[in-house]
């Protein structure tokens, strides 16, 4: 039976450390501030943003949510971002996905100053990640949180065979770069990969981020592997589940994250931690 990786408990530890950092910065006259912009009324986004806002307030981070109507133009959104880019009291800016069809998400990502890029999506920061830069820069929050999980649960990364299922700019690609920077041997598989399970069955560390419920079964997992499930899906009965079939996987894996209570809390904890880091680096 696999050891459960408790993301909820680990996030609490990270948040306690973040709160301490916030208190130290405030004593120096620095008040970390995060701006979250949401366009339209996507319900899942509304919930996620509310959770971020609540956690920021708990940790003493100033957090403002700017709600814009569905018909907001790209020019209007860019103008708002420019306003916050020029505001020295703002340390982190993030624009919640998805965006309405009339707005080019890539253009919005490029518009946020790299030094205020709370999500770590700006191409300049992505370049620093892939070149394994020794400078200070933000990193995509979910992969950042996963790296903290691996460290906390003493998973050996150098020399490990790490397989990532999914190649999104939010999880798969930055995750690959972080693991490569940590000296893992990294393979990325995706929808065009032939015989995917031939790769997943060899993984010491298996990270799954596809949005396909129960895609990975116990038979697809190497005995004793560490399995990180990034998915947040609904099964046929409407029950919350991940990309990994938890029941069959936990019988094979050495360590595994649950859904919910695994990666999700760590993503928000990473965002809060990163906002405070941006505030520190801005001085």
Pair 74, 152 in one domain = no
Pair 51, 156 in one domain = no
Which among 258, 203, 269, 251 has a CA at the least distance from the CA of 231?
Answer: 258
Pair 153, 55 in one domain = no
Please say if the pLDDT value at position 43 is more than 90: no
Span of 14-28, 128-142, 228-242 with lowest mean pLDDT: 228-242
Pair 145, 98 in one domain = no
Pair 151, 106 in one domain = no
- Find the mean pLDDT for residues 189-205: 98
Judge whether 8 lies within some domain: no
Judge whether 135 lies within some domain: no
DSSP 46-78: HHHHHHHHHHHHHHT-EEEEEEE-TT--HHHHH
Judge whether 21 lies within some domain: no
The Cα–Cα gap between 164 and 160 comes to 13
Pair 162, 198 in one domain = yes
Judge whether 4 lies within some domain: no
Per-residue pLDDT tens digits for 84-142: 999 999 999 999 999 999 999 999 999 999 999 999 999 999 999 999 999 999 999 99
Pair 259, 146 in one domain = yes
Structure confidence at residue 48 as a pLDDT band (50, 70, 90)? confident
Pair 146, 46 in one domain = no
Pair 182, 223 in one domain = yes
Judge whether 245 lies within some domain: yes
Span of 38-42, 107-111, 154-158 with lowest mean pLDDT: 38-42
Please say if the pLDDT value at position 47 is more than 90: no
The CATH number of the domain holding residue 37 is: 3.40.50.10860
Structure tokens at 190: 């995706």
Please say if the pLDDT value at position 236 is more than 90: no
What amino acid positions are annotated as catalytic residues?
A: 52, 96, 119
Pair 183, 105 in one domain = no
Structure confidence at residue 70 as a pLDDT band (50, 70, 90)? very high
Against a cut of 0.85, is the pTM above it? yes
Supply the mean pLDDT for the chain: 97
Judge whether 2 lies within some domain: no
Domain count within the chain: 2
pLDDT of residue 235: 80
Judge whether 271 lies within some domain: no
Domain boundary among 66, 96, 113: 113
The Cα–Cα gap between 4 and 258 comes to 7
Judge whether 257 lies within some domain: yes
Residue 199 sits in which domain range?
141-263
Q: Is 183 left (phi over 0), alpha (psi -120 to 50) or beta?
A: left
Strand-pairing partners, residue 187, are 163
Per-residue pLDDT tens digits for 248-275: 999 999 999 999 999 999 999 999 999 9
Structure confidence at residue 28 as a pLDDT band (50, 70, 90)? very high
Structure tokens at 263: 């990666």
Alpha-carbon distance values, 211 to 68, 131, 132, 164, 249 (Å): 27, 28, 28, 13, 17
């Amino acid at each position: 039976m696999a050891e459960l990786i408790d993301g909820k408990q680990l996030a609490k530890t990270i948040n306690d450390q973040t709160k301490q950092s916030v208190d130290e910065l405030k004593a120096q006259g620095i008040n970390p501030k995060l701006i979250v912009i949401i366009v339209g009324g996507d319900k899942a986004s509304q919930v996620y943003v509310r959770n971020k806002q609540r956690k920021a307030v708990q940790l003493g981070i100033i957090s403002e949510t700017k709600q814009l109507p569905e018909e907001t133009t790209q020019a209007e959104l860019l103008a708002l971002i420019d306003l916050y880019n020029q505001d020295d009291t703002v340390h982190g800016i993030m624009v919640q996905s998805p965006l309405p069809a009339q707005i080019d998400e890539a253009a919005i990502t490029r518009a946020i100053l790299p030094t205020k890029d709370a999500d770590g999506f700006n191409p300049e920061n992505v370049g620093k990640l892939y070149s394994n830069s020794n400078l200070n820069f933000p990193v995509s929050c979910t992969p950042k949180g996963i790296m903290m999980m691996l460290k906390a649960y003493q998973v050996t990364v150098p020399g490990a065979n790490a397989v990532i299922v999914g190649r999104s700019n939010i999880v798969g690609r930055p995750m690959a770069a972080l693991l490569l920077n940590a000296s893992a041997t990294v393979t990325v598989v995706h929808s065009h990969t032939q015989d995917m399970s031939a790769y997943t069955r060899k993984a010491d560390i298996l990270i799954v981020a596809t949005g396909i419920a129960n895609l990975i079964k116990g038979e697809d997992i190497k005995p004793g592997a560490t399995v990180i499930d990034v998915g947040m899906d609904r099964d046929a009965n409407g029950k919350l589940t991940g990309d990994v079939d938890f029941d069959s996987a936990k019988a094979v894996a050495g360590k595994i994250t649950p859904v919910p209570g695994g990666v999700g809390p760590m993503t928000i904890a990473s965002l809060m931690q990163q906002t405070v880091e941006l505030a520190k680096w801005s001085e």
